[in-house]
Amino acid sequence: MKKILALIALTLVFTGCSTNTYVKLPEDSVLKLNKVEDKTYTEGRVVTRPFFWSAAGGIPYKVEKNGEVLKEGKLASKFRVASIFWPPYAIIYWPMGFAQKCYDLTGATTSQCTVEEIKAMKAKAKR
């Protein structure tokens, strides 16, 4: 029983301080999240700290190539249950995370990636 509780606690620690997803981007482009974040992401796994309540309607993003904005909008978000177990700060400051396992940002509209695309990105990340 103690091992199970320790495993649950350890899981909450690791899931409480970050949120992640995969993104499929147009060739040679980068992703910028949340309008105020200076960090850029390339195609593949995106790991970032969770988002504030303002992301409840979606996580603002831009896809840029050579400084030119190709696409912008909001990625679907969801409430992170793990934030309940990180009082008082997580529920106040970091309650929102990515709603999908993968976002395909290559088309005119944002869609979910296929299972094959996710497997390919995971395999590429392991190299």
Quote the domain boundaries for residue 19. 2-126
* Dihedral over Cα of 97, 44, 108, 60: its sign: positive
The whole-angstrom separation of Cα 39 and Cα 33 is: 8
Q: How far is CA 96 from CA 45, 90, 102, 105, 114, in A?
A: 18, 9, 16, 20, 24
Residue range 6-55, pLDDT digits in tens = 666 655 555 557 889 999 999 999 999 986 667 899 999 999 988 888 88
Alpha-helix runs per DSSP H in 1-127: 2-16, 89-93, 115-126
What pTM was estimated for this model as a whole?
0.79
Residue range 46-91, pLDDT digits in tens = 999 888 888 899 999 999 999 899 999 999 999 888 777 766 666 6
